Structure 1
């Protein structure tokens, strides 16, 4: 897992993998506050972004998840959310396997979960060896958040 802020992009770029840099360039060069929600192809199915408008939920209403073929860059455009994360080895058994259709595995248990607050302008990179629980409330469920999830095939 990597945590950063887009306003530090010039400082952080030397330490980031090229694939992550491609996703962060899209985030830094796009007016994400005004684009419509939906999918944006950056490089076909190799790199694409999903712009999402939603409401945060209580932690117990969101399931931990992981991916096999893609890493996620989760970026908050406006609002804030908490994302729980842990090493994949700390996840319990897979409870729903959607890996073939949408590269998504769900779990009921994530031991040693650490909370990470993403506020406006911050991002986190989750690799297939990270399990994460996005969309959780920072304080009160139901707060608006606009976020972008950049998917990068490994």
Structure 2
């Protein structure tokens, strides 16, 4: 997992050359629809907004076809990370949804706020949109960057 400021995302274009296209496409949306997928060359993105849930109600997940680039646009959320090897599968991988769900220890937690971004790789069990003490409000973009299958 990579955690950084949105302003630094240009430093990751050697890993993901389509980040600029994703950001440009995201920034070009005048009216954000929260139930819509927006496509760009090499992936897609969607917007989420709402209140965080208690940490106990969140599950770890991992993906195989896409890398998650999540950008906090407003507000805050907590995220947790753990190696998928240290987690227990609770829902097997769904190829159509590109997601596998896990349970396990919340060993590493961090508060993410406006202007921050994080990138989750296939080996990263990640848990998002939760709170530790009090509910938080957030608005974010979830960008799915296609992985090259070689």
| TM over 0.5, shorter chain | yes
SS in 2 for 1:27: helix
* Partner residue, 1:3: 3
Consecutive unaligned residues in structure 2, runs of 5 or more: none
Consecutive unaligned residues in structure 1, runs of 5 or more: none
Larger deviation: 73-82 or 16-25? Answer: 16-25
The CA RMSD measured in Å over matched residues stands at: 2.2
TM-score by length of 1: 0.82
| CA–CA separation in structure 2 for the residues paired with 1:57 and 1:112 | 15
Number of aligned residue pairs: give it. 145
Work out whether 1:82 is the aligned partner of 2:75: no
| CA–CA separation in structure 2 for the residues paired with 1:144 and 1:34 | 20
Decide whether aligned partners of structure 1 residues 52 and 60 sit closer, same or farther in structure 2, where only a CA change above 3 A counts: same
Instruction: Give the strand-richer structure, 1 or 2.
Output: 2
Q: CA offsets, 1:111-150, max 9 Å, x none?
A: 3620122100100000001000010125412x32111110
Cα pair 1:83 1:132 within 8 Å, conserved: yes
Work out whether 1:50 is the aligned partner of 2:59: no
Work out whether 1:116 is the aligned partner of 2:117: no
* Partner residue, 2:19: 23
Work out whether 1:36 is the aligned partner of 2:33: yes
| CA–CA separation in structure 2 for the residues paired with 1:122 and 1:90 | 26
Cα pair 2:55 2:132 within 8 Å, conserved: no
Work out whether 1:71 is the aligned partner of 2:63: no
Decide whether aligned partners of structure 1 residues 18 and 32 sit closer, same or farther in structure 2, where only a CA change above 3 A counts: farther
Instruction: Give the helix-richer structure, 1 or 2.
Output: 1
| CA–CA separation in structure 2 for the residues paired with 1:90 and 1:145 | 28
TM-score by length of 2: 0.84
Decide whether aligned partners of structure 1 residues 140 and 19 sit closer, same or farther in structure 2, where only a CA change above 3 A counts: same
Instruction: State which of 97, 121, 125 in structure 1 corresponds to 2:92.
Output: 97
